[in-house]
Structure 1
Amino acid sequence: MGSTLFPYPYPTEHPTVSTISVRSGDTLSKLAARYNTTVDKLAKANNIKDPDLIKVGQKLTVPDGFDSPGTKTPSSNPSKSGDKFDQPAAAGGRAAGPVKDDDGRSFPTSADGTPMYRQGDTQWGGRRLGTGSSISAAGCAMTSTAMAMSKISGKVINPGELDAYLDKNGGYSGNGLIWGQAAKMAGLGATKPGWSTSNINKQIDAGRPVVIGVDYKAGSNGGANGTDHWVTVTHRKGDTYYANDPATGKEIALKLQNGKLVGGPKNYKSTGELVTFTGGNPRPGTAPAGSSGGPVAGQNSSGGSVKGLSLPAGDLEKGARGKDVELLQKALVKAGNLTQAEMNTGPGIFGPKTEAALKEFQAAHGVPNTGYYGPKTRAAFEKLGAKVGGSTGPGPVTGPSEPGTKGGVSLAQLRKIMPNLSQAKAEQYLPHLNKAMAEAGINTPKRQAAFLAQLAHESGEFRYMEEIASGAAYEGRKDLGNTEPGDGKRFKGRGPIQLTGRANYRAAGKALGIDLENNPTRAADPDVGFRTAAWFWNSRNLNTYADAGNFREVTRRINGGYNGLASREAYYNRALDVLT
């Protein structure tokens, strides 16, 4: 139903859309896809016997996704709808009066003065949302956000305007809304504090609406994270909370029951997801008489403090697993970008929730919101007081604990894989190589074959433990962390995997407990070089791809492309023959 922080496959039912007008090029099939219904339902709702015979300008009724097939569209008078919680706009007090947007359109408001928008409005309901839906079908989170932001900022921002802003400013992750990016349109921040009525009350009693997730489809458990839909809670009276529902564009009442808010159409139940907005007027308006006042709790746009938290020194991205991912998740929870409940669905697993939360953090702190945990993101966390690599010990060097091949590879096996490697160098390097592989969990034939193949190619079968070129070509490469004069040469490629750039030297050094940033040549020594290679390997989760036999992806994550792929694959196939 709703676009959320995380692009989960929620049920695709849509809100009420009374009528639409057929445009040139429309077919029932296209309209069904646009409004997230079916051709059969559209045909039945409009008594169309031949789906191919529709005319430009023809008015069609779109079935209401909240009702079972064949039921009528809910009455425009909520008091006759049969739902005791579906109240008219003035149910929570006297309506504050209509507001006008930049287009001159008037919209009713709830009792506290928050605009009431319907996501299926004809002006914006058909707009494309994210990568493959529409505001009508999946824009409840975005519409709820537009309502809350309008009240808090004092500027009337309708969902169409917000969607246009998000399209231009990277505001979607798939079809999922990036809350912080949306809030920027009104000069606000957004955070996801822990669920509690206290957190809600402090906001709405100061006239600051909040957005909450609800589960409306009985038995669905709300999809992957419990949330099917989003509404904007605006004010309260006793244990009754009033919310603007983007599904209908009307105000609904929710009762506090066992810590949850319950009511509205289809007996909504809150899921524990809460979004609050920071900045703007601290008290943009008070709730009606009967609610307890009080100042808004002090917050900043980054949520809670991450000061003193330890974060991994290596890079992480979607698909990674382990304790370093869990450290990142804990920091995102503290920062207010991930809830504890969301983390609990997959601690230590870098999935779509973690990726979207990281994008949210990045957008709020001036980092490109790529969802990739790299040097710039680590720097942003450090500015907030986190300790990157602090107490994590060897960090991502340490690999999985499951048993695998014991004893590493033999001298004979190594020389068969790398036939140009001399006996003397093989004897010199083998102990360091095996120690590093054991530490990194590179402990199965597939992992070892992939690791050795990449090292053989990168170092010319361990012939080059330091890049032949001067490194001047890396001068000024900010993406490598080379920000000071001479960094290109100082942090040229070293070690069997050719570690390059100040940022990688710093990260690897923190993971290994060695000051490589001030002693970069140590990366070429075999006792350090093989460990930096192991760190680099695990920082990119390469054991996972090696286990799957996906050597091309291993290459891409090391090289950034497929340079030298034929050479790498030749080593890989030879290593597999030798080790299996």
Structure 2
Amino acid sequence: MNGLVREQSVFMQQLGELLRRADAEGFGVAGGELYRTPEQQALYIQNGRSATMSSQHLKRLAIDLNFFREAGDGSAQLVSDAEALRPLGQYWEGLDPANVWGGNWGSFKDLTHFERRDAPAAAPAPAAALAAPAAAGPVRGKGLTTGSVGVQCSNVHDDVETVQQLLNLCGEAGRMTLPDGPLTCDGAFGQKSLTAIMAFQRSALAQAEPDGRVDANGATLLSLCESLPDAMLPPWLELLFLRAKDSDAEDFSPRLQQVMADRHIDSPLRQAHFLAQVGHESGEFRFRAEIASGQAYEGRLDLGNTQPGDGQRYKGRGLIQLTGRANYAEYGRAIGREAELLEHPELVETDPGLCVDVAGWFWAQKNLNSLADADDLTTLTRRVNGGLNGLDDRRRLLMRAKALFGI
């Protein structure tokens, strides 16, 4: 099978996936132009509808589709809103780095256009990339952002900061040169971020005319994520927990790896759930102890607080908070330091090793690996929290961790 026929076959297969996705999202679809002869392309140029004889329609690698939704009176209404169609465009581009949606080109006519472009020639890998282990399995990065980053995009703070961090990582890996140096990862989209995105698209994606957009699950985002570091390293944790200080990521990285190994939190799904719970409970590493004084626990016999002042003395500490005299004693016995922790409970906050280890101990005590294996966030949250407080934030962090792991 020659190269063009192979590309046409892939294009048609992925077109089928797009049509199934459109149907699932409630769109009716009418087919438009697929093949265009050279004579027809010449007429397009003559009539001002095209500027060159270059078109993927000539290769049967492009198609124009019209999308409809049912109106109130039952008639089919043509959808011409770019934002309504953008999820389909992002889905198309997410299927394959060679896929491009015309809705990023700036006119209504282009909203209907879906094409497959010639794949860029592979560039020699930089030394840093050759030294890094290749990521196996699913592509990492899908679902990492919720919207688009670029001119006239939603530019949600976390999405922008994520892209800024990824661009810096690509610069460090030698895949591009950052025109203005490393970006300040502040979540604010501006000219420096735009310039860096376009530089990446030229360098890594071989785009002659970059659009400066990073769409959710689009080719640019997924290519950026090819430079993700190994899981649990500090830069990886900084991408997961955007609100964490760099120093905390450095501090906790080796300790998290050790605790996960000790407690058999040893699959990406288990680790994603563990990190989501730890991240929420600690405010993304910002809090090693609960903010409240602990007075609310005074006299709580169910926590073993039998002595005056026990509520404040044994308040919640650790990445998953250890609370109450009885629990401090039980954890202390488990690690052979009961008397020390009862005398100095603040060590669970100030000793980074204990701060992480207590979370692993709690995880093992509650047999939470089984719930993580079942991907049961709701029940797992009840076991950690006693209720469902912060469930949305735990889910956000879980989805982010899964995107970074590629699961």
Q: Same fold (TM over 0.5)?
A: no
TM-score range, shorter chain: 0.3 to 0.5
Normalized per residue, the structure richer in helix is: 2
TM-score (normalizing by structure 1): 0.29
Q: Higher Cα Rg: structure 1 or 2?
A: 1
**TM value normalised by structure 2:** 0.42
Give the strand-richer structure, 1 or 2. Answer: 1
